[in-house]
Structure 1
């Protein structure tokens, strides 16, 4: 038996850090959408009691350091699975880019193994497993356009019809999320009005949405990597309606109402950064 799962990238239309919990986790409020830049997870049932993993990206670890492997191991132990799985990870989403690739891969693995191993997990059970791997995994299990709160485990699906072209620009360096959050100063960090952003999205108010978009982590990451601001400025000059860093960075995205304008930005940015992608926001 074989199961293939798609793992789409995500972007943050809004990311606000409202506080910090005693256990060190930050209180998050985010609105995320999926875009059609996808990894693929192929899962094949093994009769032998083992987890095998391979990938077309040589930079990917193939053991417990990989969130895909970690997801399989957690499920195997929780449900006392004696059969194994052969996992193939096909990568298109850049690594350490703020696009949620690792989290989406883990979510796809949980969804796929739920089918392959006939686990019959509820959404809540999948979220519980996912949150043990990372705070973006619960969202990635739901995907689409969602409001994410708490430590990342509370996901509310938003019914919107945002159909925008998106240009993603990933600079030559990566950023590990784990190195960004310790630098957050709750006294000085910029705040984002997620409630107003949500209202604008639900009202299909594109201009209002743009005015409320923001990312509390931008100041922290741009202070370390000023080149990110240069990407933002250049994309705006090329005709983007709005530019924003996604997640903890370093990828910057631009929203464009027409493909023609998106193409203009892509052509301008290709000489500036090697990794440039033109994608659409995924509906549903």
Structure 2
């Protein structure tokens, strides 16, 4: 028996940081949704009690540093599964890109192994397991569109945004999420995006209002350290994107586009700045 799971990338339509918590994490409010750029995981039982991961991508760890490996180890230990698993990871989402690729792989491993081993774990419990692996994993378990609070693990499902094209562009740099949050001064944030206005725009399915409410307080930190990210965002808007924002801690910038006629122009224009450019759809 083989089990297949899709692991879509996420983007942040809104990311706000309220304050730094006593546990060292930051209290956040985010609106996250998924796009149709995805890794794919293939899982099958092994004859011996071990975890083996393979991938066509030569640039990712295939041991305990891999989040899908960590997810498999966690679910095996927590539910005392005495069976091994072979996981093949077809990697499409750029790494260290602000798109939650590793978190989505972990979530897909949790969902897939729950089915493969017939554990019957409810989604809420899978989300709790995911929270032990990373702040974005619970959302990636649930999918769809959601408000995320706390460290990102407290989720409130909301309606999906209206269908549109999403242009993703990652410059040839890697950004550490921990480093960006470490540089952030939550008490010095100049302008906070409005969660209420963003959720109202989504609820009313007003695309241009959603574009107007895009906001990410981490942009100030990442753009100051990596001017090429700002250049990418400005280029995307100049080429005709209806709205553009850095996703997560970066460095990937996404642009929202309703008219298909604009997609090729923006895509081709961005390819002059970076090789990793994707034109995908919102997952609604």
Instruction: Report the equivalent of 2:254.
Output: 253
List structure 1 segments (4+ residues) > 3 angstroms apart after TM superposition: none
- After superposition, residues 165-244 of structure 1 pair within 5 angstroms as 165-189=165-189, 190-244=191-245
Q: What are the superposed Cα offsets for residues 205-231 of structure 1, whole Å, 9 maximum, x if unpaired? A: 222212211001000111110111100
Question: Residue by residue, what CA displacement relative to the aligned partner does 1:124-172 show, whole Å, maximum 9, x if unpaired?
Answer: 2101110111000000011111111111111111123511111111001
SS at match of 1:85: strand
Matching residue of 2:29: 29
Corresponding position of 1:111: 111
In the aligned structure 2, how far is the partner of 1:183 from the partner of 1:132? 24
Question: Partner of 2:78 in structure 1?
Answer: 78
Secondary structure of the residue that 1:187 maps to in structure 2? helix
**Inter-partner Cα distance in structure 2 for 1:204 and 1:41:** 33
- Deviation at 1:47? 2.8
2-side partners of 1:222 and 1:159: how far apart?
A: 30
Unpaired runs of 5+ in structure 1? none
Whole-angstrom CA distance in 2 between matches of 1:282 and 1:206: 15
**Partner SS for 1:133:** coil
- Report if the CA contact (8 A) 2:144-2:160 is conserved: no
* Alpha-carbon distance in 2 for matches of 1:22, 1:59: 35
> Match of 1:94, SS?
coil
Deviation (angstroms), 1:29: 0.7
TM-score, normalised with respect to structure 1: 0.97
Shift of residue 70 of structure 1?
0.3
Q: Secondary structure at the match of 2:192?
A: coil
Residue 188 of structure 1: how far off its partner (Å): 1.4
Q: Distance in 1 between matches of 2:18 and 2:258?
A: 31
SS at match of 1:28: strand
Deviations 1:14-60 (A, max 9, x none): 00011122111111111111111010011101131100111111111
**How many Å separate the matches in 2 of 1:224 and 1:215?**
15
Q: Give the equivalent residue in structure 1 for 2:271.
A: 270
TM-score (norm 2): 0.97
Following the alignment from structure 1 to structure 2, what is the Cα–Cα distance between the partners of residues 176 and 42?
28
> Deviation string for 1:52-72 (max 9, x for gaps)?
111111111111101000000
In structure 2, C-alpha distance between the alignment counterparts of 1:55 and 1:179, rounded to whole Å: 28
